[in-house]
C-alpha cells in the first residue's frame, strides 16, 4: 500500500472517530467519555481477534466456509479451555461484538430495555474467562471504567441504551480492517489519536496520562542508539503505555525479545495501558503491566534488568521519603546515601530507573528542570550520579511540548557502562515548530538531537561535552545553560561606522538649515 493511501485511510479513520466523539459525548466530559469509545473499540478488537483466529484454524483444517460468529454457544464451549491457553481469553459466539451490535439494531425493544445489562454481562464473561490462567492479571478489571449504568450516558435506561447503540454502530462503521492487517496499525492508531484528541482538550488531567508521540520517539531513539534489538523495554510510570510501544515502532516487534514492562499507580490509566497493548496486537504473554506505587511497592523486582528504560514520570509529586524508615535502606536509594525530598519525588524515580537498568542499557527520562540545580538532598543525589559517572547526557527541550503544561522540560540519559568520565549537554530549546497551541519536535529536530547525542559532538551554542570534574566545580549543577553558551543574536554595532553616520547626519542637517534660512530671507516682505 502506498504512503498516500495509508494517509488517506488514517485521515478517514480520524474523521470517523471525531464524529463519534462529537455526537456521543453530550453531557459527558471528553476525557471521561474516551473510556466508552476506547472500551468499545477494545471489545470489537478482541471479538474480531478471536473470531479470525478460529476461522483461520478451520480454513487450514479444510473447512473454508466455517464462521465462528454463526456457531452455537454450546458447540463453542468445547473449545474454551484450549482457546484460553492460546489467546488468553474466550468469547461465546452470541457475545461477539458483531452479534451484539446486529441484535441491538434488529431488535430495538430489546436494545432499549436490555442492552446495558447484556454488555455488562458480556464484559464480565470476557474477564472471567481468563481467571485461573496465565493471562488473568492482564484481563482483570479491563472494563471497570466502562460503566453501562452511568448517569453520564443518560438519565434513564432507555436513554443510556440509545447512546450505547450509537456507540456500537459508530465503532462498527470504523474502517479498522482486519486485525491481522497492520498496514496502518488501525486499532493502535485509533487509540493514539483518541488519546491525543482528549489529552489536548482535557488539560492537565489528560496530559498526565499521555506522552506526545514526538517526545516518545526522541526518548526511544536516544535509548536505542547503536542497538538493533533489546531484551525488553520498561517504564516505571507508564501511563497509557504510549512510550513503551514506541520502542516497537523504532526497533520493530521482533527486535524486542521479551516484551513490554511497566508500572502505573492510577487504576484508570493502568486499564488504558493494558487495552493499548492489546490494540497494538501485543499478546498477553509479551507484556507485564502492574498497578502499584512504583516508589514504595516496586514490581518486576526479580526480573532481568532492562536494556531500555523510557519514562515521563509525574513532576515533583509528594512521596513518603524519610517518613518511611525502610526506604533509606532500600537497595535502589541506599547507594546515594540520601532520599529525594518528600515534596519532590523526581530523583526517586531517577534512582529507581538506574537500579532497574541493565549494565549495557540506556534510560531516557523526562525531568522537571528544578532537579538539575536545587540544593539539599537533590544536590547530594546529583553528586552521587556524577561521581559514579552514571549521567550520559542532559538535554534541554523546548517549552510547551506537553499537554497541560507549558514548562520547558529536560531529558536525563543514564548509562552504567560509560567509557569516558564526562557528560554531554545539549541545548535543544529551539528545536521545534509551533502547531496550534503546542510546540512539536519535527523529524529533522529529532534527527539533529540524536545525531549530536550519538557522536557526542561539541557544537557552538548547541552542545558541549563537559568533564565531570568541571561539573563538580559547579557544585553539581546540571542545568544545560551552565555549560552551553547562548548565542548572542543582537546586531553587532561598529562604533566607528556609527560615529561616521552620526557626523554625516549632523553635517547634512546643517546644510538643510542654511538652505531653509536662505529661502526664508528671499520671501520676507519689508515692513
Q: How far apart are CA 408 and CA 479, in angstroms?
A: 12
CA distances (Å), 145 to each of 31, 32, 160, in order?
A: 12, 9, 15
Spatial strand order in the sheet of 260-263 = 287-290, 260-263, 233-235, 306-311, 357-367, 410-415, 391-396, 422-427, 463-467
Can you point out the beta strands (E) in 231-284?
Answer: 233-235, 260-263
Tell me the domains of the chain and their CATH numbers: 3-202 (1.20.1260.30), 206-481 (3.40.50.150)
70: pLDDT strictly greater than 90: yes
Most confident of 133-142, 171-180, 186-195, 436-445: 133-142
Cβ neighbourhood burial of 171 (10 Å; 0-12, 13-18, 19+)? buried
Confidence class for position 24, pLDDT limits 50, 70, 90 = low
CA dist 507 → 27, 497, 513 (Å): 75, 15, 10
pLDDT value at residue 204: 45
CA distance 63 to 81: 22
Summarised one tens digit per residue, pLDDT across range 139-168 is 999 999 899 998 888 889 999 999 999 999
DSSP 236: T
pLDDT tens-digit readout, 370-398 = 999 999 999 999 999 999 999 999 999 99
Q: Extract the C-alpha cell encoding 190.
A: 485509533
Confidence of residue 181 (pLDDT cuts 50, 70, 90): low
pLDDT digits (tens, 9 = 90+) for 488-511: 766 667 788 888 888 888 888 888
Encode pLDDT of 239-272 as tens digits.
Answer: 889 899 999 989 988 899 999 999 999 888 899 8
Rounded to whole angstroms, the Cα distance separating 211 from 188 reads 15
C-alpha 368/C-alpha 397 separation (Å) is 11
Distance, in Å, from the CA atom of 101 to the CA atom of 172, rounded to the nearest integer, reads: 8
Residue 27: its pLDDT value, please? 43
Confidence of residue 15 (pLDDT cuts 50, 70, 90): confident
pLDDT tops 80 at residue 45: yes
Nearest to 181, CA basis, from 361, 307, 83, 48: 48
Buried b vs exposed e over 46-60: b needs ≥16 C-beta within 10 Å? bbbbbbeebbeeeee
pLDDT digit string (tens) for 401-460? 886 678 889 999 999 999 999 999 999 999 999 887 789 999 999 999 999 999 999 999
Residue 319 C-alpha cell reads as 512521596
3-state secondary structure of 459: strand
In 3D space, the residue among 126, 199, 170 whose CA is nearest the CA of residue 36 turns out to be 170
Sign of the alpha-carbon dihedral angle for 176, 179, 183, 187: positive
Confidence (pLDDT) at 521: 75
Whether pLDDT at 183 is above 50: no
Mean pLDDT lowest among 13-22, 28-37, 112-121, 355-364: 28-37
**pLDDT at position 215 over 90:** yes
Task: Report residue 359's pLDDT band, with 50, 70 and 90 as the boundaries.
Answer: very high
Q: Quick one: which of 176, 174, 120 has its CA closest to 148?
A: 120
Give mean pLDDT, residues 27-46. 77
Amino acid at each position: 500500500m502506498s504512503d498516500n493511501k495509508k494517509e488517506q485511510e488514517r485521515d478517514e479513520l480520524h474523521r470517523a472517530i471525531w464524529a463519534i466523539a462529537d455526537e456521543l459525548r453530550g453531557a459527558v466530559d471528553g476525557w471521561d467519555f474516551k473510556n466508552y469509545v476506547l472500551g468499545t473499540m477494545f471489545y470489537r478488537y478482541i471479538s474480531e481477534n478471536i473470531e479470525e483466529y478460529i476461522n483461520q484454524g478451520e480454513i487450514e483444517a479444510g473447512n473454508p466456509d466455517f464462521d465462528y460468529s454463526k456457531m452455537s454457544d454450546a458447540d463453542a464451549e468445547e473449545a474454551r479451555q484450549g482457546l484460553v491457553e492460546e489467546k488468553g481469553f474466550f468469547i461465546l459466539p452470541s457475545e461477539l461484538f458483531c452479534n451484539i451490535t446486529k441484535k441491538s439494531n434488529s431488535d430495538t425493544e430489546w436494545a432499549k430495555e436490555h442492552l446495558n445489562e447484556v454488555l455488562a454481562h458480556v464484559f464480565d464473561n470476557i474477564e472471567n474467562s481468563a481467571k485461573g490462567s496465565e493471562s488473568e492479571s492482564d484481563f482483570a478489571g479491563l472494563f471497570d471504567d466502562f460503566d453501562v449504568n452511568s448517569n453520564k450516558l443518560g438519565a434513564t435506561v432507555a436513554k443510556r441504551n440509545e447512546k450505547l447503540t450509537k456507540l456500537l454502530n459508530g465503532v462498527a462503521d470504523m474502517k479498522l480492517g482486519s486485525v491481522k492487517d497492520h498496514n496502518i496499525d488501525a486499532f493502535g492508531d485509533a487509540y493514539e489519536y483518541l488519546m491525543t484528541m482528549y489529552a489536548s482538550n482535557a488539560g492537565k488531567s489528560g496530559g498526565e496520562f499521555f506522552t506526545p508521540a514526538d517526545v516518545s520517539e526522541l526518548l526511544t531513539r536516544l535509548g536505542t542508539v547503536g542497538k538493533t534489538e533489546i531484551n525488553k523495554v520498561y517504564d516505571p510510570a507508564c501511563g497509557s503505555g504510549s512510550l513503551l510501544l514506541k520502542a516497537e515502532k523504532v526497533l520493530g516487534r521482533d527486535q524486542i525479545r521479551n516484551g513490554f514492562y511497566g508500572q502505573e499507580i492510577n487504576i484508570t490509566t493502568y486499564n488504558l495501558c493494558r487495552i493499548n497493548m492489546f490494540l497494538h496486537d501485543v499478546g498477553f504473554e509479551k507484556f507485564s503491566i502492574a498497578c502499584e506505587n512504583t516508589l514504595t511497592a516496586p514490581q518486576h523486582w526479580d526480573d532481568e534488568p532492562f536494556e531500555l528504560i523510557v519514562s515521563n514520570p509525574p513532576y515533583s509529586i509528594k512521596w513518603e521519603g524519610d517518613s518511611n524508615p525502610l526506604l533509606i535502606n532500600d537497595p535502589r536509594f541506599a547507594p546515594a546515601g540520601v532520599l529525594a525530598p518528600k515534596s519532590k519525588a523526581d530523583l526517586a524515580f531517577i534512582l529507581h530507573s538506574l537500579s532497574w537498568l541493565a549494565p549495557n542499557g540506556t534510560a531516557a527520562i523526562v525531568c522537571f528542570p528544578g532537579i538539575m540545580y536545587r540544593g539539599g538532598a537533590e544536590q547530594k543525589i546529583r553528586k552521587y550520579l556524577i561521581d559514579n559517572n552514571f549521567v550520559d547526557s542532559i538535554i534541554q527541550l523546548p517549552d510547551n511540548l506537553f499537554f497541560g503544561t507549558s514548562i520547558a522540560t529536560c531529558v536525563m540519559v543514564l548509562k552504567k557502562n560509560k567509557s569516558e568520565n564526562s557528560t554531554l549537554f545539549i541545548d535543544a530549546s529551539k528545536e521545534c515548530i509551533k502547531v496550534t497551541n503546542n510546540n512539536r519536535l519535527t523529524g529533522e529536530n529529532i534527527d539533529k538531537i540524536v545525531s549530536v547525542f550519538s557522536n557526542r559532538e561539541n557544537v557552538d551554542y548547541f552542545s558541549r561535552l563537559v568533564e565531570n570534574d568541571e561539573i563538580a566545580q559547579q557544585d553539581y549543577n546540571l542545568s544545560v545553560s551552565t555549560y552551553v553558551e547562548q548565542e548572542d543574536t543582537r546586531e553587532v554595532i561598529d562604533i566607528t561606522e556609527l560615529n561616521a553616520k552620526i557626523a554625516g547626519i549632523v553635517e547634512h542637517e546643517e546644510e538643510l538649515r542654511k538652505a531653509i534660512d536662505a529661502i526664508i530671507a528671499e520671501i520676507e516682505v519689508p515692513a
